[in-house]
Amino acid sequence: MKLLQAVRQGEVSPEEAAGKLQMQPFEDLQYAKVDHHRGIRQGVPEVIYGEGKTAEQIIGILGAMQEERNVLITRLSPEKAEKIAEVCPLRYHEIARLALARPKEIENPVGRILVVSAGTSDMKVAEEAALTAEALGNRVVRIYDAGVAGIHRLLSRMDELVQARVVIAVAGMEGALPSVVGGLVDCPVIAVPTSVGYGASFGGVTALLAMLNSCASGISVVNIDNGFGAAYQASLINHLGGAS
Amino acid sequence: MKLLQAVRQGEVSPEEAAGKLQMQPFEDLQYAKVDHHRGIRQGVPEVIYGEGKTAEQIIGILGAMQEERNVLITRLSPEKAEKIAEVCPLRYHEIARLALARPKEIENPVGRILVVSAGTSDMKVAEEAALTAEALGNRVVRIYDAGVAGIHRLLSRMDELVQARVVIAVAGMEGALPSVVGGLVDCPVIAVPTSVGYGASFGGVTALLAMLNSCASGISVVNIDNGFGAAYQASLINHLGGAS
Amino acid sequence: MKLLQAVRQGEVSPEEAAGKLQMQPFEDLQYAKVDHHRGIRQGVPEVIYGEGKTAEQIIGILGAMQEERNVLITRLSPEKAEKIAEVCPLRYHEIARLALARPKEIENPVGRILVVSAGTSDMKVAEEAALTAEALGNRVVRIYDAGVAGIHRLLSRMDELVQARVVIAVAGMEGALPSVVGGLVDCPVIAVPTSVGYGASFGGVTALLAMLNSCASGISVVNIDNGFGAAYQASLINHLGGAS
Amino acid sequence: MKLLQAVRQGEVSPEEAAGKLQMQPFEDLQYAKVDHHRGIRQGVPEVIYGEGKTAEQIIGILGAMQEERNVLITRLSPEKAEKIAEVCPLRYHEIARLALARPKEIENPVGRILVVSAGTSDMKVAEEAALTAEALGNRVVRIYDAGVAGIHRLLSRMDELVQARVVIAVAGMEGALPSVVGGLVDCPVIAVPTSVGYGASFGGVTALLAMLNSCASGISVVNIDNGFGAAYQASLINHLGGAS
Amino acid sequence: MKLLQAVRQGEVSPEEAAGKLQMQPFEDLQYAKVDHHRGIRQGVPEVIYGEGKTAEQIIGILGAMQEERNVLITRLSPEKAEKIAEVCPLRYHEIARLALARPKEIENPVGRILVVSAGTSDMKVAEEAALTAEALGNRVVRIYDAGVAGIHRLLSRMDELVQARVVIAVAGMEGALPSVVGGLVDCPVIAVPTSVGYGASFGGVTALLAMLNSCASGISVVNIDNGFGAAYQASLINHLGGAS
Amino acid sequence: MKLLQAVRQGEVSPEEAAGKLQMQPFEDLQYAKVDHHRGIRQGVPEVIYGEGKTAEQIIGILGAMQEERNVLITRLSPEKAEKIAEVCPLRYHEIARLALARPKEIENPVGRILVVSAGTSDMKVAEEAALTAEALGNRVVRIYDAGVAGIHRLLSRMDELVQARVVIAVAGMEGALPSVVGGLVDCPVIAVPTSVGYGASFGGVTALLAMLNSCASGISVVNIDNGFGAAYQASLINHLGGAS
Amino acid sequence: MKLLQAVRQGEVSPEEAAGKLQMQPFEDLQYAKVDHHRGIRQGVPEVIYGEGKTAEQIIGILGAMQEERNVLITRLSPEKAEKIAEVCPLRYHEIARLALARPKEIENPVGRILVVSAGTSDMKVAEEAALTAEALGNRVVRIYDAGVAGIHRLLSRMDELVQARVVIAVAGMEGALPSVVGGLVDCPVIAVPTSVGYGASFGGVTALLAMLNSCASGISVVNIDNGFGAAYQASLINHLGGAS
Amino acid sequence: MKLLQAVRQGEVSPEEAAGKLQMQPFEDLQYAKVDHHRGIRQGVPEVIYGEGKTAEQIIGILGAMQEERNVLITRLSPEKAEKIAEVCPLRYHEIARLALARPKEIENPVGRILVVSAGTSDMKVAEEAALTAEALGNRVVRIYDAGVAGIHRLLSRMDELVQARVVIAVAGMEGALPSVVGGLVDCPVIAVPTSVGYGASFGGVTALLAMLNSCASGISVVNIDNGFGAAYQASLINHLGGAS
């Protein structure tokens, strides 16, 4: 937040900031409140969670946002995307069910986020993560279909693994990928369980539990299928490392 | 079973066998029924599950069994072992909480069962499996503390992995070991989840679920901490491959 | 794996093998990586898990595989099967939702795998197991609708039970069949819980738990409805026993 | 209830009964209310659930009950039993943790309740059921250690199975016994899951679920380890069949 | 079973019976085995569980059954019922999704089974129970919509409660009805949880658990929505009381 | 809160209050922060949750609190109570494991809170609720051991039920009491599940779920064994009704 | 209830009341019993739970109710609403899926119930609560989209929070809102978990559990998505505070 | 790892590195394998997980490690600490159950990790995190007892929140703290659920689930009570930001 950054830079005292925090305007659309003090850093998009909102509501929120910003819309069905595209420039990614409204080219993506996934079916979550990370201004490398039952596939990409500043490891079923990756790299690993599997995979719960119990250090976990959340945190981490 | 082997060898018709099956004597000790038609193959011990039985009950069951047989007692506390040792020759393994009563040397162990475990704490289950397999007449190789977060440890023993006729893979926490092993070998893998871990490991449930959802083929799973069960099945499999 | 077999036969040192393992080519189709070093034994098919893949993706994978191999496709809907059949010879089994692409006759099936199931509704999983086992080169015997509430049905087939080299026991609801079978035979039993049932069967979880807790020795368990996985392991076991 | 029996016999109209029902005195001991209108049939004991009550509280409740009645006390520790025995005649059964206060001989036990259990460790629950049933005036037959992995043990007692008016089937682990028994008999079966087992037995939950999903007809289930409850209902059923 | 009744009457020795048991013919329809030694008592129908069977399969099973028997088909959709009705006389009950094929009038229903249910939505399970019980030759009384939040509704039918030989208590949501009924009557109560409810009712699990933990004595429980199972056991119990 | 009451009475504007809220001093004891702006209304005690705090820590917190206030300490073991009593006047209730430090007589308790509990073992939770409510200045009526299996006990206290301004209904096992009470009264009912029970009561989870699914209106639920929480909310509700 | 109010006012003795309670007429519609002694206070509507009832059944129940009353119908689909509107004046709220039949203006709503919700998607439950509370005669204030991740939104409405007599806090996902609100206000808070979320939100279970474990005092919880239940209890509480 | 860093710096090619990886020596202590290629960066300690290892085993592992390194031992009981201190310099922290063997002063801690915890009882986990982070060379700020029910406590430390490079948020019970913190800061938040709570907190599962479902962005989660794991990842992240 701009205000808090001012605090961090010593321009505003924390006490003043805390007071102002409550006073800042946000636009009330009745069905949603649009914050005008989030994400004002250059190149960083606003985010709309598309699930459970109608195309009309999304268009309304887009209208209330600043014209010059690009906006990331997650969990967006093709049908809604089509309607929105009629009134606003939209770049839609079907596999990831994700769109960029008023898309702009990210000019100087920073650092390196590696997105590695276990199976073909995990790709939709992996792509949600990769596309989100790119939209947030990060350089992204993808390694897909590298499940632990074929460990040689992962080892053959060892060079890319060790160059990552942060890894997003996406897997369903037994969710073992982050443990193996976490043993190979020396950077933070964000594990994303997916709902891929059947029977005792319980819609991703098995992968989630396995990841939480990883024997490798340096791993943390987000909700099932939450590619966006992993990418958001990965971006915060990757930007800490500076622009190179 | 001797009877059923006779059937298999064509000495007895299946119909006769089924009839006899109901007539065979077993000794009724009131608190337990001792089968006299189990495990009469040379060198194969009887088995007593020690948990929830008193030392006195176990001694009683030992008394009812044929004198010349060696007997495997699982889940046996050191206290009970001490009492039983007073009346019967007993070789006790404390880590595995397992004893051999009237122990005999296994003369020609067959095949090769590999027992691989993930962490130091999984050793008690791995040893239950390894010692059981040895008592059942199998050649056993152990690779311990080879968790997936240090995959190079496993790869450095590749030669032993590929020589196994059947692998028993023991792991707690995220239970990823069998998946990685299953991708490296070409023989049946029996996965044993252990109760090692804390928090969301739920006493081994996470490892159990992960193993059931393994993306590798050729893996099946036994109950949490059931080293004995894994070894029993592994022995049946290993013996199919003959004496070499 | 051919390479690992070379290792086993002493033609290649394990160290060499481990090194080569990382170098072996696999074809990258973007949405899937096709391994060219799996399953090169005579008569053994490649396997494609059909769930969550489009007909087009499956056709692509088929194209990347070696022409002369037969290929097993599991969890395949009739609609997709129809599309694939237009471009590739396909033998489709509707109950098991399983297909053989470029099917070849298995000439000398080995050993004997018994597939026994509890109820009429378990048949689709039992058939997935039986057909998979046949495709993998095994002789298969079926005993269906032999639930434990009618124990005499099972006993009447005693002769076939004792001739099996490995048994696949398929059951939903209370999942008691493997325990009863495990008490009657002297060979490995692979238990397959099915999602058949309602209410407190929880989509197969009850059967799964019951099987994991079996009081019979020699039983291991695979994931709910995983007929393929059971057959794959059963085939590995059955082949250990040799060609007879 | 005496009153309700009067209703059943037409001596009192239901409307009068319902009114009286609210007026009947019960003695208020502050920590417990002692009903004086329960169980006044000849030979049927009062029941005290011992768990969580002090010896002093139990003695107080005994004092408030009619002198001439025998009283069944369940879930009673040996320590409490000893204290109570100092002030009141008491017959204590340690395995079942159950006592009869002011015990009287049951003169003409009726019918036939069969109590069948799977393993040695299930005996304490089976005995709670058997002793309760005897105290409630029933003829009881016991078949213990007859788990389904040794089905011939059960078949060898076929004659006793078919003579039962009601069966109580007690099992832990996979809980398969009631299903097999239910397929062999033609009378009601009450299934009692026990907390015997480890790992994925979850303290009896697996057995409970298995029993609820039994494929045999005529089976109902009580709470885990609830031998008393099974016997109480079995007694009601057995008495319906009359005195023979 | 006729055979076992012969045993009970001393006409056949148990040993002979056990032997014959394995030899009795049953017709093998490939997808189902039809037992010819079940339910041969006068007036008692055969039972087909309709779920997961096609209309064609059901017609096939009907054809294999003895012509003169009436047959109860449970969990039958209206569509299948219509198809079956074209080839076989059928009386269909839509709410209970249950049919009687070749229906016959039950001439002398015995005893009294009370079916009491909590809410309007529980009626479909209650009717499955009531209609099954009637088909099995029992006199049935219904009390519906008598949930515990309006306890006076239940008390107003007190006269009918006390006349029952066995009660079937059907409830969803919090499943409290059997506890209240069990405190009012002096006969066996069979509790049937239903999947009625939302949120934390978990499809009937809450009601199931509540019933298993009932503080009233004399209650046992069947699977969620299993009206048929409750009625089957209730019928066995009710018939013990004789013909009056 | 005093401040917020000033707001409510118009003496302070909400904006001023929100600002001040962040500035108010609280004493930092390192292991706990003591708020000086909570509960300053006459006669209302401070509250310390005793679980997991040492006697020394509790004495420290007491020292930091205003001398003239009485203080409620919940979940306090007898051992800790004894130590605290050495340095501070303390009234300890062993069953409820609850103490009042610097106890004062509540002079004019208001309204009427009814605490009703199902079984003897639920009394410790019921007493925690009743004593807390009294300490918070409420008139309290107790009805204990009034489980739904003996509904006449509850009906015999109908007069007290209808006079309550709010009811706290405490029950373990099947948790049915609040539903029955909720159908009899016309005031808010706060349901407290207890951990009383065994087997499928799952430490109070069954009672909790049952209460959440109550078919009666006007019921809300607190955490398992949370007698304090129920009483705290009941007191807020009861005080709304004024002093009578 | 009118009768019970007479008791409370001393016009009728409790004993008389309890007797009469059983005799009061209720109309039996076969599929539902309509109580004529509920909710006879002026302005308070009858309530019909629409889920699982046909439009025809609802019309039948409406017909059996007193003509002059307004009736609240919850969980009503637009299709059923349309059918009912043809025969009865109906005001339908689509978001809340709730209707008022024979709607009347509430003339003097009392007190103040605050309905606060966390996210846009929680609005349908929040509206069920708000509309129900209004129909029951309460003044209602709404604060929507005030999730805890934007705490300043909540603080900016501090003035409305402190004026509430009772708060209904509605949230899905992590369900943290009631804890934060409970720390800001000094009145009862009723927490409503919603099924909003995905993955490990388990259809509202996570929010439910979080609310039950709130560290704030004065909070109780209702079933997932049960906006009606929260409003019903809130109305009882709010009316205790009188008419102002 | 030194090797991998060489790779990153271009001194060694990735292919060479992967090859060497399998060859590196590690010391085999039979019960544990000590890696000599982990954590060789200056000032970073080795780590031993103390749970389930004997004091003797830990001393053995310490002996096998390089003399000059300091070693962090987690989950260490006071008894074991005392034994180890006899043979090796040891700094033991009782609340966190954590020790530093051969402790050295961290000379230039970098960045700023904020550890914030909800309640007094969460302190043991928070201290495990804080002490671990300090041992790994990070500057650490602590804010304890700042639960969301007293949100002003958190707001009063706003200045410290905004200065953090990464936040570790520790909470039990409803686990809401990370969501509130995540809404206030603009840096990565690692959430640590604790097992603090009772009843429906399920040993930390509720807090875990709540954190996984956080409505704030930038949050990831580790296992219950895993303060070490959170600190390890936080240290990796904090070091990305450089030395300032």
Out of F8, F218, F236, the one facing G163 most closely (by C-beta) is F8
Indicate contact of F with C: 3+ CB pairs under 8 A.
Answer: no
> What is the rounded average pLDDT of the residues D180-188?
93
- Judge whether H209 is closer than 8 Å to chain A, CB to CB: no
* pLDDT band at residue A85 using 50, 70 and 90 as cut-offs: very high
Which range (A40-49, C230-239, G223-232, H11-20) has the least confidence? H11-20
- Judge whether B67 is closer than 8 Å to chain H, CB to CB: no
Non-local (6+) Cβ contacts of G112 within 8 A are G138, G139, G140, G141, G163, G164, G165, G238
**Is pLDDT of C169 > 70?**
yes
Q: Tell me the pLDDT tens digit for each residue of B50-108.
A: 988 889 989 988 988 867 678 999 999 999 999 999 999 999 999 999 999 988 887 78
- Judge whether C23 is closer than 8 Å to chain A, CB to CB: yes
Q: Tell me the pLDDT tens digit for each residue of C69-109.
A: 789 999 999 999 999 999 999 999 999 999 999 888 777 89
Strand (E) or helix (H) holding F139: strand F138-143
* pLDDT band at residue C207 using 50, 70 and 90 as cut-offs: very high
* pLDDT band at residue F174 using 50, 70 and 90 as cut-offs: very high
**Is pLDDT of H240 > 70?**
yes
Cα-based distances in Å from C189 to C184, C219, D80, E13, F59: 11, 5, 48, 35, 63
- For residue C25, the one-letter residue type is P
Q: Retrieve residue H5's tokens.
A: 């860093």
Please give the Cα distance from G78 to G61 (Å, whole number): 18
Strand partners, G26: G35
Please tell me the distance in Å from G159's CA to the nearest CA on chain F: 5
Which of D13, D16, D21, D22 best probes binding to G when mutated, by most G CB atoms within 10 angstroms? D22
φ/ψ of E85, rounded to 5, equals: -60, -20
**Is pLDDT of G8 > 80?**
no
| Tally of CB atoms within 10 A around C209 | 28
How many Cα atoms sit within 13 Å of H195 on the Cβ side? 12
Taking a C-beta distance cutoff of 8 angstroms, is the pair C119, D183 a contact? no
Closest CA to H88 of H98, H102, H77: H102
Non-local (6+) Cβ contacts of H138 within 8 A are H109, H110, H111, H112, H113, H234, H235, H238, H239
Q: Tell me the pLDDT tens digit for each residue of G136-172.
A: 999 999 999 888 888 888 888 888 998 999 999 999 9
Please give the Cα distance from D36 to H106 (Å, whole number): 76
Which of H153, H174, H196, H206 best probes binding to F when mutated, by most F CB atoms within 10 angstroms? H153
- Judge whether G204 is closer than 8 Å to chain E, CB to CB: yes
Which of H23, H27, H31 best probes binding to B when mutated, by most B CB atoms within 10 angstroms? H31
Taking a C-beta distance cutoff of 8 angstroms, is the pair B116, B185 a contact? no
Residue F219 or H242, more confident: F219
Taking a C-beta distance cutoff of 8 angstroms, is the pair E139, E165 a contact? no
* pLDDT band at residue C15 using 50, 70 and 90 as cut-offs: very low
**Is pLDDT of C25 > 50?**
no
Contact A4 H187 (CB under 8 A): no
Contact A196 C33 (CB under 8 A): no
Out of E180, E197, E202, the one facing F176 most closely (by C-beta) is E180
How many contacts, defined by CB atoms under 8 Å, are there between A and H? 108
Taking a C-beta distance cutoff of 8 angstroms, is the pair B118, B173 a contact? yes
> What is the rounded average pLDDT of the residues C44-64?
87
Q: Retrieve residue F168's tokens.
A: 């706290």
Closest CA to D223 of F113, E220, A139, F9: E220
Please give the Cα distance from A99 to A105 (Å, whole number): 14
Contact D144 B53 (CB under 8 A): no
- For residue D154, the one-letter residue type is L
Please give the Cα distance from G94 to G75 (Å, whole number): 10
Reported ipTM: the value is 0.85
Non-local (6+) Cβ contacts of E13 within 8 A are D159, E7
Non-local (6+) Cβ contacts of A177 within 8 A are A116, A117, A118, A146, A147, A148, A169, A170, A171, A191
- Domains for chain C: give ranges and CATH numbers: 19-101 (no CATH), 110-240 (3.40.50.1970)
> What is the rounded average pLDDT of the residues H75-93?
95
Please tell me the distance in Å from B160's CA to the nearest CA on chain C: 9
Check residue C142 and give its pLDDT: 96
Non-local (6+) Cβ contacts of D87 within 8 A are D59
- Judge whether A19 is closer than 8 Å to chain F, CB to CB: yes
For the ranges E116-125, F9-18, G11-20, the one whose mean pLDDT is highest: E116-125
- For residue B218, the one-letter residue type is G
Please give the Cα distance from H58 to H39 (Å, whole number): 18
**Is pLDDT of G13 > 60?**
no
Which residues in chain B land under pLDDT 50?
1-5, 7, 14-15, 17-26, 36-43
* pLDDT band at residue H28 using 50, 70 and 90 as cut-offs: low
Q: Tell me the pLDDT tens digit for each residue of D3-55.
A: 444 545 555 554 454 444 443 444 555 555 555 444 433 446 788 999 888 89
Helices (H), chain H: 2-8, 14-21, 55-64, 78-85, 123-135, 151-155, 158-163, 177-184, 205-212, 227-240
Residue C69 or F241, more confident: F241
Non-local (6+) Cβ contacts of A116 within 8 A are A126, A142, A143, A144, A146, A154, A161, A167, A168, A169, A170, A177, A181
Check residue C35 and give its pLDDT: 53
- Judge whether C215 is closer than 8 Å to chain E, CB to CB: no
Please give the Cα distance from D198 to G45 (Å, whole number): 54
Cα-to-chain-centroid distance, residue E182: 20
Residue E184 or C65, more confident: E184
Check residue C21 and give its pLDDT: 44
Strand intervals (E) in chain C: 26-28, 33-35, 46-49, 71-74, 90-93, 98-101, 110-117, 138-143, 166-171, 189-193, 219-221
Helices (H), chain B: 2-8, 14-21, 55-64, 78-85, 123-135, 151-155, 158-163, 177-184, 205-212, 227-240
Strand intervals (E) in A17-97: 26-28, 33-35, 46-49, 71-74, 90-93
* Residue of chain C nearest B237, judged by CA positions: C237
- Judge whether H206 is closer than 8 Å to chain G, CB to CB: yes
**Is pLDDT of H38 > 70?**
no
What is the residue-averaged pLDDT of chain C?
Answer: 84
- For residue G159, the one-letter residue type is D
- Judge whether E26 is closer than 8 Å to chain C, CB to CB: yes
**Is pLDDT of A45 > 50?**
yes
Residue A233 or H152, more confident: A233
* pLDDT band at residue A128 using 50, 70 and 90 as cut-offs: very high
Check residue A3 and give its pLDDT: 46
Taking a C-beta distance cutoff of 8 angstroms, is the pair E240, D237 a contact? yes
Q: Tell me the pLDDT tens digit for each residue of A136-192.
A: 999 999 999 898 888 888 888 888 998 999 999 999 999 999 999 999 999 999 999
Check residue E147 and give its pLDDT: 86
Indicate contact of E with F: 3+ CB pairs under 8 A.
Answer: yes
Contacts of G150 in chain A (CB under 8 A): 33, 35
Whole-number percent of chain B with pLDDT over 70: 81
Please give the Cα distance from D190 to A82 (Å, whole number): 60
* Residue of chain A nearest C208, judged by CA positions: A200
